[in-house]
Amino acid sequence: MESRKISNALISVFYKDGLDLLAKTLNQLGVAIYSTGGTQDYIEKLGIKVNRVEDLTGYPSILGGRVKTLHPKVFGGILARRDNENDKKEVETYQIPFFDLVVVDLYPFEETVKNTTNKDEIIEKIDIGGVSLIRAAAKNYTDTLIVCDKNDFKSLSDKLIASNGNTALDIRKKYATKAFYTTSNYDNLIYNYFNSSEQSGSFSTNIKQAKTLRYGENPHQKGIYFGNLEAIIEQVHGKDLSYNNLLDVDSALNLISDFNEPTVAIIKHNNPCGVASRDSILQCYLDALAGDPTSAFGGIIASNRAIDEATALEIDKLFMEVLIAPAYEGKALEILRSKKNRILLVQKGSLPAEKQFRSILNGVLEQDKDKVILTKTELKIVTNKTATEQQIEDMLFADKIVKHTKSNTIVLAKNKQLIGIGCGQTSRVDALKGAIAKAKEFGFDLKGSVMASDAFFPFPDCVEIADNNGIDAVIQPGGSIKDDLSIAYCNNNKIAMYFTGIRHFKH
């Protein structure tokens, strides 16, 4: 029999939001409610009769509340199969009520871990009874309905009123699926608290939210986003974000978060094609765009300051996919909403990830996020000539960009503006030639500019090419067994070169 009439309900929840509506609905339908502790008190204050679990089991809540519902008379009523004659006889013999509805949630373990480092508090928020009750009810979904999310209270109330207290099998299975997901995710959170991959050599993750995308990287590929996007960004206009949009937004936010001063970055296919730091966000945008106005077409723009009306008017002239900023001032939003599909985002939070993951072969790669941001004191001068103060600032500026660009990469910068970039090349020489060609294409004077590389120079060819084009300051990791060759060329040709000791490969 697929339909089940709810006669008895077991309710024990941490979060009481919306519980009053559900409890009143059950009472209206003549359902006997069983409960304990704070949930019992809450429901009784609504003027609704509650059967105490302690009276059913003959045992009070013990061990400071650690043991309340772990009893055969509770689990027997949940797990008993209505069409099994032996189960029905045992239930009758031991005077166990059939529980047709179980409403149980879990202690807030995740929230506790976020809010405290107190070990005892965290351990006490590991739910035992709740997980057991949820799994038991979900296992017996053919007879029992399990509800483990306060956000389902209202919809459940509406369904029960419409069906006069009956539930259909497909509904019970749907809630059971959600229940098993809930306990799986909960156990995973606890596992990750106790464990690190370095200790056990295992990998485990579970993400609650999932959003189906229009398609993946290409139209013939399916795409799904897993995660809580709303914690980071809020969309205030435009079409849905695509798979590629999300990749570019992630690249843009990772890059822009490395800059403290007003900065605008323009991203295309995960690589920066324009970056500038200035006193005003308008000038940031104009100079970032000037770095490569061709590649900026259809790109992603990110700002670490609010977009004002003047900047919005300039941005509105460009066809671009996405704009993300911490805020929009005055009529900026109104101006930018002139294009129906243009995606406008507000950055609400920082990127929290400490780890990066990538699926490969028959497994997953994990690594620490590259969070290195160099300062002047960490640079090591290895040549006779030193750079000017402006060039040192430009080198630090360029090194941030190098970090977020596909290898092999060379970045050319001048006055805190990206003026040329070569990225994703199999040869560092080709990356440099590409960067120089870009700079010259858009009219930049390379004299006095700086060159940054994501990795060391195994030969002096790159510094020689840079020298021949007027570049006289270089920042690179160093570490080649032939560093002396590049250093010697720089000394012979009055080029300043600094080592960082930090490689920034990005594949």
Closest CA to 102 of 31, 38, 169: 31
CA distance 403 to 275: 13
* Catalytic option among 139, 173, 237, 406: 139
Residues contacting residue 288 through CB under 8 Å, at least 6 positions apart: 264, 265, 266, 274, 275, 276, 296, 301, 417, 418
**Is 139 noted as a catalytic residue in this protein?**
yes
**Token pair in block for residue 505:** 């490969």
* DSSP conformational letter for 100: S
Closest CA to 413 of 428, 431, 435, 434: 435
CA distance 145 to 169: 9
Scanning 292-441, the segments in alpha helix (DSSP H) are 293-296, 309-315, 332-336, 389-403, 428-441
CA distance 279 to 275: 14
In sequence order, the β-bridge partners of residue 145 are 101
**Is 269 noted as a catalytic residue in this protein?**
yes
**Strand pairing class (166-167; 145-147):** unpaired
For CA atoms 360, 361, 362, 366, give the dihedral sign. negative
CA distance 12 to 103: 6
CA distance 179 to 130: 11
Give the burial string for 299-326 (b: 16+ CB within 10 Å, else e).
bbbbbbbbbbbbbbeebbebebbbbbbe
CA distance 278 to 461: 33
**Token pair in block for residue 28:** 């209206």
Closest CA to 347 of 212, 236, 242: 236
* Catalytic option among 269, 385, 406, 440: 269
Decide if 380 contacts 391 (C-beta within 8 A).
no
Catalytic residues: 139, 269
